[in-house]
Structure 1
Amino acid sequence: MKNLVFVSIFSAMVAIGTAHLCMLSPPQRGSMLNINKPASPDCALLPEPCGGRNASLGTTLAIKEGSRFVVAFQKNLDHFYPSNPGSFKISLSFDEEKTFQLLQFLPDTSDPSLTLYYMNVTMPAMPLKKPGTLRIAYVTQNPEAPAVFYQCSDIMLY
């Protein structure tokens, strides 16, 4: 019985500490298995710059330079911290993920897990015709959660 209680508590703690952000459009690197369940492992990516997922072999999406584009993402598990709310940051890199230019910022709110967000971003007016990385970072500011979760997608401006 003690083992069952320990396993239940440990499983709950792992779920609370691991899954948080999924990018839907453009599609995130890797899979999107079980993203409609809170604490999906595909939404729990921590290492900078892109959650430990490397660039794909090809561009996921080509976007016209200077255009407005809607980025869709999901708060897979809520980590809202009322006394010091975090944020979602959408940024772009064209130097192999060495630096990222901030495109859009959204403060975190008490919206529940699995909430979908749609943000308009304006792409830079420079057709680079080389691979780039669109990244969303969920900065939690919550001392009981990891500091930042990442998702990236491989794009190209034309």
Structure 2
Amino acid sequence: MCVPPTLGHLCLWQPMQRGNFSISTPGSHDCYRKLAPCGGYNSSTSKQRTTLEAGTMYSVRFQQHLNHYYPPNPGTLDISFAVGLDPPEQDFRTLVSFNDYNPMNHNTQTNFSIPIQLPNQQCDQCVLRVRYLTNNADEEDQGKTFHQCSDIQLTKSPTNAIHPVFDEKPPAKQQKNDPHDCCTPPSFQTYFIHHIPDIDYTSSGVIYYDQPSEQMRISLQADGVKYNMWMNFTSGMQYYHNVNNKTCILFGLDLWNDWCYGNTFNQSEDFLAANVSCSSSTFAFCNQWQNGDFLFESSSPGCYPAALSRTSSAERTAYFGAKNGPFPKEVFQPDPICLKQTVMKHAHNPSATLLKHLLQEHKILLD
């Protein structure tokens, strides 16, 4: 699922986060907040306190700006609650927790609308928090977790009795491997169409995937604008090229991970069904896996990507026209305008080897 990137990693708008809020431009630091418990922002930075009814259902809405899925130890996202003006970390109680997912693109922005039951507890000053716990070793600057806090007030609901907050964490779900779990061919290209009806967004293009060289390329068009993304995981660099306005942004990458399906390969995806009719017409039969709201389909046989959809909405990416590589080296050669970039965004703490390579070989400045 690919949409134009922003540098931040987590932004919350319902209820509105503390401090400033912006997801309209690349490099929004309003979404990069790591210090616990609230990203370094206390209640004095809040521009509003949202009043809600205790004990009622409420949809928390936020965006994961960049995806940092980490197969060696997949991360989670959670929503928690605490009473007080600026409560300490130990006072927060988890209301909902769910697995991170792997979109196979670091520069992926995913909107979430998560229904929760608000605590049955009145409070004039309380905090609702969203976290992205990446567990990603390449994110170890001020920790590996992103935080956003919102100041709220819970009033007595006329239809709900007031009870103490239930603060026990739900039991962890046991993940199981399945013999149908699989990885795609090591080198292939596939076309795709990504559609989000709720915001009337459609993009389409082609993906080149090459596991032997640890490189990917995505070329897409959305709203009349053409983009190219070149990802070289050996050098740790990703170029994001706007073809129309002839601009290019240089990003730092997390570690490479193979395009696989299922818990056997640490994808946080439970096997659902084998050899069922594909939801797209490209392949006759598919295997399916599910990770919370996300439904993954791959061709059976072959394990080519077939679809990635969401069960809570009509958002969907369909893949078609798969063809095996290898590819000519020109496929992964960035546009000359990209090679002129000297400032790397999202390069907070790469591994020592990668950092040395970037500084000595490419003379890259870290932003």
TM normalised by structure 1 equals: 0.81
In structure 1, distance between residues paired with 2:41 and 2:48? 15
Aligned to 1:97: 87
Aligned to 2:150: 153
Listed one character per residue, the Cα deviations across residues 10-60 of structure 1 (whole Å, up to 9, x for unaligned) are xxxxxx9x7311112111111112x14554211100111111111146752
**Aligned residue in 1 for 2:73:** 84
Give the conservation status (yes or no) of the 8 Å contact 1:51–1:151: yes
Q: Which residue of the partner structure matches residue 120 of structure 2? A: 125
Separation of aligned partners in 2, 1:77 and 1:55:
26
| Counterparts of residues 14-93 of structure 1 (less than 5 Å) | 19-33=8-22, 35-37=23-25, 39-56=27-44, 59-93=48-82
SS where residue 144 of structure 1 aligns? helix
Specify whether residues 93 and 72 from structure 1 end up closer, same or farther in structure 2 by C-alpha distance, changes over 3 A only.
same
Is 2:109 the counterpart of 1:114? yes
**For structure 1, which segment, 87-96 or 135-144, has the greater mean C-alpha deviation from structure 2 after superposition?**
87-96
In the alignment of these two chains, the number of paired residues is 141
**AA matched with 2:38:** C
Shift of 1:114: 1.4
CA contact (8 A) 2:19 2:47 kept: no
Distance, in Å, in 1 between the alignment partners of 2:135 and 2:56 is: 32
Distance 1:44 1:58, change over 3 A: closer
Whole-angstrom CA distance in 2 between matches of 1:27 and 1:156 = 13
Q: Quick check: which has more Rg, 1 or 2?
A: 2
5+ residue gaps, structure 1, are 1-15
Q: Deviations over 1:74-131 (max 9, x none)?
A: 0111111123110111001103312101111111001452110110111111222x21
Structure 1 Cα separation of the partners of residues 151 and 126 of structure 2: 6
Using the aligned pairs only, state the percent identity. Answer: 34
List structure 1 runs of 4+ shifted beyond 3 angstroms. 36-39, 56-59
Say whether residues 1:137 and 2:131 are aligned partners.
yes
CA contact (8 A) 1:19 1:43 kept: yes
**Whose RCO is larger (CA < 8 A, sep 6+)?**
1
Q: Does the 8 Å CA contact 2:18/2:47 hold for their aligned counterparts?
A: no
TM-score normalised per structure 2? 0.36
Amino acid at match of 2:111: L
Change (3 A) 1:65 1:136: same
RMSD: 2.1
Over 3 Å counting, the alpha-carbon distance change for 1:71 and 1:149 in structure 2 is same
Q: Distance in 2 between matches of 1:58 and 1:123?
A: 22
* Greater strand content: 2
